Amino acid sequence: MKTTWRHIGIQAAGWGRTLAWLAAAALLARTAFWLYGWLSPCGAVATIYRGEAFQKARWICCLRRLEYGCEGRPAPFVSRDRYSMRIKARLYVPKTAVYDFATLSDDGIRIRIDGQPLIDNWREQDFYRSGRSASRELSAGFHELGVEFCNFRGAARFRVEWCGGPIPPRTVLGPPYLCKPPWKDRW
């Protein structure tokens, strides 16, 4: 059959419709993923600030676990260099025991549990040489967990691990033990 301009037009319209459907499906999946991030009780809520000392709040997002890495801008209106992050969560402790916490960070990180400082390593540093650790006895149940992070320049990265009680060594702090704070305390 001879191909005519009319056939080409019909075919192009078909491809256009398929592409539109694919774009709509991708948008829907992205929205569902975003909603799941906010509605799921697991994870933490992070506010991203311009400036390495929490100068101006610019963005809020959810973290599934306390493991983060970013080579470029962390959020709209925030530059790659000189930004900070304040993370709010609740730590679910499955059993009363002494727990060990360890951090690696590029650059600074601080951890508080129930408002009491646990790790304070706030400086410009290389991720692999930044290791800090601390231990604390924690009772079973929920504890308030606060993490602050800053990037002075270049790439940014951090990881928080814990172990103790039934938690095996080198476990990245995440679900089901990392829980979001109540809605009223998230902002």
Which residues of this protein are in contact with Ca ion, per CB under 5 A? Answer: 106-107, 151, 154
Q: Which is nearer to Ca ion, 83 or 99 (CB)?
A: 83
* Omega of the bond leading into 176 within 30 degrees of 0 (cis): yes
Q: Which is nearer to Ca ion, 62 or 150 (CB)?
A: 150
Least Å distance, CB 9 to Ca ion, is 53
Using DSSP's 3-state secondary structure scheme, residue 24 falls into helix
Exposed, middle or buried by CB within 10 Å (0-12, 13-18, 19+), for 117? exposed
Percent of the chain as helix, strand, coil, to the nearest 5:
20, 50, 30
Gap between the Cα atoms of 75 and 73, Å rounded: 6
Least Å distance, CB 61 to Ca ion, is 19
The answer to whether 44 touches 180, Cβ cutoff 8 Å, is: yes
Q: Which residue is nearest to Ca ion (CB)?
A: 154
Least Å distance, CB 55 to Ca ion, is 17
Least Å distance, CB 96 to Ca ion, is 37
Least Å distance, CB 58 to Ca ion, is 18
Gap between the Cα atoms of 10 and 14, Å rounded: 6
Q: Which is nearer to Ca ion, 47 or 151 (CB)?
A: 151
Least Å distance, CB 150 to Ca ion, is 9
Q: Which is nearer to Ca ion, 46 or 167 (CB)?
A: 46
Measured CA distances, 120 to 58, 108, 157, 187 (Å): 24, 8, 16, 23
Q: Which is nearer to Ca ion, 54 or 142 (CB)?
A: 54
Gap between the Cα atoms of 134 and 119, Å rounded: 7
Q: Which is nearer to Ca ion, 108 or 164 (CB)?
A: 108
